[in-house]
Structure 1
């Protein structure tokens, strides 16, 4: 079966608009938290989050000098009037596409697939349209119905990049990003695609969704309204709940044979990706499923637990979630100071929900490439001192093999494993 490599990455985030700036933010531990007032009916609530600031799509696209003029024009035509989430996906995907040199060494259009992570991606767009046109529906824009569907992301990206292979969205709640990576991995391994553009869109939550998360006590930040920078604290005893974040990210997966034929050097190899269920419709995590999926990922990668140098944890800053995940990791990798380093990117970016797995895959590979592990922001009093949790400063590290977890409501457990460039000839 085909081996799978990563040939391109891109990001457009609340903490950085591109890979270069994102890498700087990871190294320095730079975050960007603020307060957003959310009104639903008669209720108004402050929400702490890492929110994407307003941006000029055309200006952002024009700042990327390496984009061929024809491709840039297609992106402008497709994205200039699109919702913010579509524009952010285009910018992240464009960066990955250029890095993978797909505009120079074009692959057959039907050998490329596009997979978009998440579902119910447009709930805030629909809410905004309802507020604007609810009492005058005859003025609803004709493009509303297309923009209201998750497949608008798939169609827009396929049009810009002339993709004629498979296209789909993957729903897995907060595990959607990893689910998308796993589906792309499976397509390539099966020989159904040579290349897969995997995009994690930003999460734009409507006021009703924010209220819904608040009603089940999932949101954090209530104790940090005066200092939102302290609110997101994965694995710290002061954690209250998840802090939403907004980042769009893209990974281009490719068969090793295709990358070799195009003369493109891989950035990393994806060795394995597994998903399993807890047979549970609720929001609570379960050690059994987390342990099982990590073991299955290791089996799929054909390596033992001792080979893993680093774990990018799901680490949502929720008390039950953080503690359950650490116990699951210890059950496989052991306790003490000899196990893999552990951190949570959500401390820096917030919880990016649908795109989290793709954002964290980009983060993982950047750390592998650059020999460091980013800080665990606000980790002051760890919930468990018997793990190799990264502290408040980045640490130098040579990462050969890494594992990244994503878990979702409805008992969804996922783990993916990457190998660094040149590890045991994997690339």
Structure 2
């Protein structure tokens, strides 16, 4: 059954910030060149205080953030790192979509992510331990993820709707799906889906390492070689700071503002495994893929590009490839954005959707780093070099702990 608004829901604006670059232009250049920033994590609060616990945590961190002049410094004085990056990233998408020409009460914001400011909280707890009476009053606001909604709606005058949604590592794509529903139902004319930067502290890094989800013990002395989705030598995901903002609206409203859509959001689906644990389910992933294809009214043969979840988790990668094969998608080109930017967790789904649309615009597919020995050499991998390719129908997959499976089909607008 085709989604009622398939063909009419489009993306009219994009904003992106990642370790490899801030803004569409810098991000696209680095992506197509396969440039990375993997290293030992150096942001305060990211390494265990006791070095005897194991090798240092590695990942990719944003090296400086350019804040637009129009954003008042006072607004950011007590804002967390997640909130600062959110405001800067949303600024790009806001102006890209010319949302200042939409009535404020007809604009919405959905922030994808839960518990995204943990490092900021740990630093505050450490700084005020034993002197809680001196805790800054704004902590009563900033410890909540909804503070990102408050900062962004204040800065941009958004008066339609704003709330957060959580789907673990699928949060960014869940936010896009909810933005589609907000627009399709007429609650707002334009809705921004923001995949928020998840600011891990050493507690979360240690917990994810202990769980066996986060690498890398094997590649700790070679951070550049640690992030290797779908390679036989993978040992877990490698964190990467990132944030993505996607403006969703109906085609007619975008056309009225003379915005050329990046793509049509033709089909989407979210399916659950009824499972609290982190282990993936091929059946759940298949259900999400098939739901998105049915919603878009396309067959597997119509899909010419897949951007997978592809974290580098030993079980997760094999399960995902099994799902792709069982859905008949072996013929589609495939690369892994996380191999370049790392795993943005709550931001991942939004950032990877943006990567799909920027590749669609460029007519090229970015390389896949560290794919030396693919676990399934029969898939149509994009290897170490950029590949010219026209994307007409793509599917983006994003999964999360707790059995969350999401898929979105994108189609070229013209």
Give the TM-score normalised by the residue count of structure 2.
0.95
- CA RMSD across the alignment: 1.4
Structure 1 runs not aligned, ≥5 long: 63-71, 423-427
Q: Which residue does 1:329 correspond to in 2?
A: 324
Q: Which residue does 1:27 correspond to in 2?
A: 32
Q: Map of 1:177-326 to 2, 5 A cutoff?
A: 177-326=172-321
Deviation at residue 412 of structure 1 after TM alignment: 0.6
Matched, 1:5 2:10: yes
Give the TM-score normalised by the residue count of structure 1.
0.92
For residue 236 of structure 1, give the secondary structure of its aligned residue in structure 2: coil
Deviation at residue 421 of structure 1 after TM alignment: 2.4
Q: Map of 1:37-116 to 2, 5 A cutoff?
A: 38-39=47-48, 43=53, 45-53=55-63, 55=64, 60-62=67-69, 72-73=70-71, 75-103=72-100, 106-116=101-111
Q: Map of 1:333-348 to 2, 5 A cutoff?
A: 333-335=328-330, 339-348=331-340
Tell me, in whole angstroms, the C-alpha distance in 2 between the residues paired with 1:334 and 1:394.
21
Deviation at residue 24 of structure 1 after TM alignment: 0.4
Deviation at residue 81 of structure 1 after TM alignment: 3.5
Tell me, in whole angstroms, the C-alpha distance in 1 between the residues paired with 2:189 and 2:39.
41
Tell me, in whole angstroms, the C-alpha distance in 1 between the residues paired with 2:81 and 2:211.
28
Q: Which residue does 1:371 correspond to in 2?
A: 363
Tell me, in whole angstroms, the C-alpha distance in 2 between the residues paired with 1:352 and 1:165.
28
| Equivalent pair of 2:80/2:117 in contact (CA under 8 Å) | no
Deviation at residue 261 of structure 1 after TM alignment: 2.1
Taking a change above 3 Å as real, the CA distance of residues 334 and 346 of structure 1, as seen in their structure-2 partners, is closer
For residue 39 of structure 1, give the secondary structure of its aligned residue in structure 2: coil
Deviation at residue 334 of structure 1 after TM alignment: 4.7
| Equivalent pair of 2:305/2:333 in contact (CA under 8 Å) | yes
Out of 170-179 and 197-206, give the one that drifted further: 197-206
Tell me, in whole angstroms, the C-alpha distance in 1 between the residues paired with 2:404 and 2:296.
20
Tell me, in whole angstroms, the C-alpha distance in 1 between the residues paired with 2:54 and 2:324.
39
- Map Cα deviations across residues 390-410 of structure 1 (whole Å, 9 max, x no partner): 111111100001100001111
For residue 48 of structure 2, give the secondary structure of its aligned residue in structure 1: strand
Deviation at residue 43 of structure 1 after TM alignment: 3.6
Tell me, in whole angstroms, the C-alpha distance in 2 between the residues paired with 1:101 and 1:324.
41
| Equivalent pair of 1:200/1:355 in contact (CA under 8 Å) | yes
- Map Cα deviations across residues 96-134 of structure 1 (whole Å, 9 max, x no partner): 11111223xx11111111000111112111111100001
Q: Work out the number of aligned pairs and report it.
A: 404
